[in-house]
């Protein structure tokens, strides 16, 4: 994977330092994963990883930093975005994708069509493989 056209991955520490430094105009740092605030899922990239979670879910709390880390590693990839959907506050999206348990990671295309699903708490290497299969 020494493709010179591929952007290098950054560590979470490197990403955090960059975000905390801001852009020189006093901007507040933002997270690597976009939180869905309405009951409508808007996709803005060719591939979107939708992380369904709930605040009361222990495995979701364990999965959250893994998703954040992946989002940081892929931060420079304009064709891939990560979003987080709280199933308690956004039940319509969870229903639309027929999410029956959390955590669940769903890969959707630019049209919002599901292409793959990964339910449950899984190790980071399995998350990496899930993302890599999308091409």
Active-site amino acid positions? 57, 60
Question: What's the length of the chain?
Answer: 135
Residue 15 neighbours by CB under 8 Å, 6+ apart: 32, 72, 75
- Rounded-to-integer distance, Cα 120 and Cα 34, Å: 20
Question: 3-class DSSP state for residue 24?
Answer: coil
* Cα–Cα nearest to 41, from 99, 85, 87, 101: 85
Separation in Å, CA 64 to CA 3, 5, 45, 90: 29, 29, 21, 17
């Amino acid at each position: 994977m020494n493709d010179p056209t591929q952007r290098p991955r950054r560590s979470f520490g490197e990403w955090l330092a960059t975000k905390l430094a801001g852009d020189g105009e006093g901007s507040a740092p933002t997270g690597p994963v976009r939180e869905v605030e309405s009951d409508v899922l808007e996709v803005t990239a060719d591939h979107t990883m939708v992380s369904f979670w709930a605040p009361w879910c222990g495995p979701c709390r364990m999965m959250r930093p893994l998703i954040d880390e992946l989002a940081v590693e892929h931060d420079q990839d304009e064709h891939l975005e990560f979003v987080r959907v709280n199933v308690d506050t956004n039940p319509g999206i969870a229903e639309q994708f027929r999410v029956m348990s959390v955590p669940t990671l769903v890969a959707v295309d630019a049209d919002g069509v599901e292409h793959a699903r990964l339910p449950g708490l899984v190790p980071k290497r399995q998350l990496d493989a899930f993302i890599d299969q999308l091409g």
